[in-house]
A and B are shown apart, each in its own frame.
Chain A
C-alpha cells in the first residue's frame, strides 16, 4: 500500500496526472500487493493513515482533512476492486463492478466537491474507462448464464454521463476548466451507447454539446486521439441518419488525422467512408487505398470493379457474398444503391459504343446490354423503367420516345459528371 500512496503524493507534488491515474489503474503493478496489504476491517483506517502520513511529509501539504477523506473513499473502493480481482481463483465480475462504481463515483465527487484540478483529469478518464470495461465483463458473465441484457453497462453509462456533465458544465476559467475532459468522456459514452445499441442517446450528447459551444474550446485544440475518435463516431452517427454529406465531412477528417499505424481504426473509418463517398461523390476506393487492408480489399475491390464495368450480375453476387458483414456493419442498404451507379455506367457504355455524337439510341440496345450484364433476359418495358428511373434521378439527361422505341439523349452532357450533380 505504501508505494501506491507514495505515488499519490509524488503525483500531487509534480502535478503529474498520468502518475496519479496509475494509482487507480487495474493494470497497476502493485495491485496484488495492495490487495493483500490490509483487510476489510482495517482498510478504511489504514488508507486514511497512509494518506495522512504522505500528506504530512509534503511541503506544503497537499490537502486538508476533508480532502484526505475524499481520497480515502477512492482508495478504499480501489482496494475492494483489487481484492475482487486478485484474491479469488475465479474473478466475480459483478463484485468488481460494484467496487468500480464506488470508485468512479468517489472520483466524480472529488472533482465536483473537493476542488480537484484540471491536471488530475486523467484520474477521471481512468476510472470511467475501467468502469466500462468491467461492466462489459460483468454483463458478459451474466449473458453466459442466459440473461439477455446489458444492465451493468447501462448503469455504467449513467455514471459516465454524470462525469460528462461534470466536465461540460464547469464554469472555471478555461485554463483551469474541466471542459478539457469533455471529448475524452464523450468518446467513452459513444462507445458505450453503440455497444448498447442506443444511438439516440449519442445524439442527445451532441445536442448538449452544441448548446454549450460558446464556452467550449475549439475541437482542434483537443488531443488528436480525442479528435479522431470523436469524428469517427460523429461520422457513423450521421451515416446511420443517412446524412451522407455530413458523414463524409466527419469521416474524412477522422481518416486524415488518424495515426498512420492505427490499422484497425483506419479500417473502421474506411468501412463507413467508402459507402459514403459512393453516394456523395460516386467515387470508389482506389487499389492504393485498399491495398494495406486485405479484408476490406477482398470485400470492396470486386464491388468497385463491377461498378466500373457495369457488371450488374457481378455486383449482385459480390454484394450477396459480403452480405453478412455488410449487414452487421449497417452498410448493406447504402451499398445496394451502388447498383444504380453500375447501371448508369452500363448505359453510358452503350451510349459510347453507339458513337459519341449519336443522341438517338434504340431501347433495344440498352435491353441487350442489361440482359447480357445481368444474365437475365429482361423485357423492353423493364428496361424503359430502368431508363426512366435513371433520368428521374439525374443520371441521364434525355427522354424515351416509345412510339419509335428510341432513347433521345441530350446533345450536351447526356451522362452528367456525378461529382457535380449531387
Chain B
C-alpha cells in the first residue's frame, strides 16, 4: 500500500450500488432534493404567486335551472310520499 501510483482521487459519487439505490427509493418518504440550494425562480411558487391554485368550496355561479327544476320534482315526490304516508295512518 506504500506504492503511490498516479491514480487521482475521485470525489464524485458516480456509482450507485444496486442495494443502496433501492434504499434511496423508499416509497413513502420525503425525498432528498437533487440540489441543496435553489433560486426563487426554481421554486414552485415564485414571488408573484400563481393564480388559481385554490378555489372556494362552493359554486358562486348563478344556480343552474336544472337544480331548481329537479328540486321541484323531488319536492313533489317527497310531498306525494308524505301524503300517502299520512293516508296509511
On whether the beta carbons of A133 and B23 are closer than 8 Å, the reply is yes
Residues of B near A260 (CB, < 8 A) are 42-44
Given the interface pairs A29-B12, A37-B1, A257-B43, the reply to whether A286 lies near B55 with Cβ below 8 Å is yes
Chain B, Cβ-Cβ closest to A309 = B59
Main secondary structure, interface of B, reads loop
Bound together, the chains give a CA A329 to CA B59 distance in angstroms of 28
Which of B5, B10, B53, B74 makes the CB contact (< 8 A) with A286?
A: B53
Q: How many A-B residue pairs have CB under 8 A?
A: 186
Given the interface pairs A137-B23, A256-B44, A364-B78, the reply to whether A7 lies near B7 with Cβ below 8 Å is no
On whether the beta carbons of B71 and A369 are closer than 8 Å, the reply is yes
Total count of chain B residues near the partner, CB < 8 A: 57
Given the interface pairs A225-B35, A260-B44, A262-B33, the reply to whether A26 lies near B57 with Cβ below 8 Å is no
Q: Is B88's CB within 8 Å of the partner chain A?
A: no
Bound together, the chains give a CA A264 to CA B78 distance in angstroms of 49
Total count of chain A residues near the partner, CB < 8 A: 86
Q: Which of B14-62 contact A (CB under 8 A)?
A: 14-17, 19-20, 23-24, 26, 29-38, 42-45, 50-59
Given the interface pairs A7-B9, A29-B10, the reply to whether A256 lies near B45 with Cβ below 8 Å is yes
On whether the beta carbons of A308 and B57 are closer than 8 Å, the reply is yes
Bound together, the chains give a CA A85 to CA B23 distance in angstroms of 14
Q: Which of A370-422 contact B (CB under 8 A)?
A: 371-372, 377, 418-419
Which one, A69-77, A211-219, A227-235, A238-246, is touching chain B? A227-235
Given the interface pairs A7-B10, A137-B23, the reply to whether A286 lies near B52 with Cβ below 8 Å is yes
Bound together, the chains give a CA A53 to CA B32 distance in angstroms of 36
Given the interface pairs A225-B37, A372-B70, the reply to whether A191 lies near B29 with Cβ below 8 Å is yes
Residues of B near A50 (CB, < 8 A) are 1
Chain A, Cβ-Cβ closest to B55 = A286
Residues of A near B89 (CB, < 8 A) are none
On whether the beta carbons of A372 and B63 are closer than 8 Å, the reply is no
Chain A, Cβ-Cβ closest to B33 = A225
Bound together, the chains give a CA A288 to CA B44 distance in angstroms of 13
Which one, A108-116, A163-171, A342-350, is touching chain B? A342-350
On whether the beta carbons of B78 and A22 are closer than 8 Å, the reply is no
Chain A, Cβ-Cβ closest to B20 = A26
Q: Is A265's CB within 8 Å of the partner chain B?
A: yes
On whether the beta carbons of A284 and B57 are closer than 8 Å, the reply is yes
Chain B, Cβ-Cβ closest to A258 = B44
Residue pairs across A and B with Cβ atoms less than 8 A apart, 10 shown, are: A7-B9, A16-B11, A26-B17, A31-B17, A282-B57, A284-B54, A345-B58, A353-B68, A364-B75, A368-B78
Q: A3-B10, A28-B13, A260-B42 are in contact. List 12 more A-B contacts (CB 8 A).
A: A2-B7, A6-B9, A26-B20, A27-B13, A85-B19, A91-B19, A137-B19, A284-B55, A284-B56, A285-B53, A350-B71, A353-B68
| Residue ranges of A at the interface with B (Cβ–Cβ < 8 Å) | 1-4, 6-7, 10-11, 16, 18-19, 22, 25-31, 37-38, 46, 49-50, 53, 85, 91, 133, 136-137, 187, 191, 194-195, 223-226, 228-229, 232-233, 255-262, 264-266, 268, 277-278, 281-286, 288-289, 304, 307-309, 341, 344-345, 348-350, 352-353, 364-365, 367-369, 371-372, 377, 418-419
